[in-house]
Each structure stands twice: as structure tokens, then as C-alpha cells.
């Protein structure tokens, strides 16, 4: 683990401890297994008005709803797809429309075709 990741994990744990202590100072013990949620999602903002004790499943569900709402706002139309035949093995595959024409069904077929072309150049 890099020093930066270790520092981030340390900071995250430290901020979690601060939030838990602040909640306990104002409301007493946190129910066993419960988590402290930062209403504004800023872990550095540990004012009691920004903290709510939540059951873990409720906490995760809340964040999942927030993520899904954010994705729905920024979501584009799903990519149109086309079916094509792999140039190497002949299998049917699916690719996004646009950009470069898809020629291979997998990275393995792409590599196999590349190696075959190299051999043809060397011997031909």
C-alpha cells in the first residue's frame, strides 16, 4: 500500500473517530454496529447538526440512492450496438456503434491476428 493510501486510510479513520466522539458527547452511546452519517457528506464537518446515527444497511441504502440519483442526472443514452463477425475466428460479437470498426471478438483474437500478420511479413 502506498504512503498516500495509508495516509488517506489513517485520515478517514481519524475523521470517523472524531464524528463518533462528537455524536457520543451529545447523544450518549451509539447503538452497537451503527454508523455515523455526515449529512453534507463532508467527513471533515463533524458538527453535531451534520451527524446522524444510522443502521449500516440504512446508511448504505442512503448512499446507493444518492449515487443512483447522480448517475440518472448525468446518464447519457445507452450506446447503440452492432453485431459483427470476428475477423480472426468468425464468431459473432457485439460492439458499440461509432469510433473504429470492431474487428475482433476478444483481445486474444486480436493478438492472434497480430502474431499471424507478423509471421506472414517475415516469411512473405
pLDDT at 98: 66
- What pLDDT was estimated at residue 66? 80
What is the predicted pLDDT for the residue at 74? 62
- Split at pLDDT 50, 70, 90, the class of 114 is very high
Give Cα separations from 14 to 10, 17, 43, 95 (angstroms).
6, 5, 10, 46
pLDDT at 6 > cutoff 60: no
What was the pLDDT predicted at 113? 92
Asked if residue 30 has pLDDT above 80, the reply is yes
Q: How far apart are CA 85 and CA 106, in angstroms?
A: 11
pLDDT digits (tens, 9 = 90+) for 45-65: 889 998 999 899 998 888 888
Residue 94 pLDDT greater than 90, yes or no: no
How would you classify residue 49: left for phi > 0, otherwise alpha for psi between -120 and 50, otherwise beta?
alpha
Give pLDDT, residue 79.
63
Confidence at 72, pLDDT banded by 50, 70, 90: low
Amino acid at each position: 500500500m502506498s504512503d498516500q493510501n495509508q495516509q488517506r486510510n489513517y485520515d478517514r479513520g481519524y475523521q470517523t473517530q472524531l464524528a463518533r466522539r462528537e455524536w457520543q458527547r451529545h447523544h450518549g452511546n451509539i447503538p452497537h454496529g451503527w454508523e455515523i452519517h455526515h449529512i453534507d457528506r463532508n467527513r471533515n464537518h463533524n458538527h453535531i447538526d451534520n451527524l446522524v446515527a444510522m443502521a449500516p444497511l440504512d446508511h448504505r441504502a442512503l448512499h446507493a440512492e444518492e449515487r443512483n440519483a447522480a448517475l440518472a442526472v448525468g446518464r447519457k443514452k445507452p450506446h447503440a450496438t452492432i453485431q459483427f463477425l470476428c475477423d480472426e475466428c468468425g464468431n459473432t460479437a457485439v460492439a458499440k456503434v461509432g469510433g473504429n470498426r470492431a474487428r475482433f471478438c476478444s483481445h486474444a483474437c486480436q493478438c492472434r491476428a497480430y502474431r499471424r500478420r507478423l509471421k506472414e511479413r517475415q516469411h512473405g
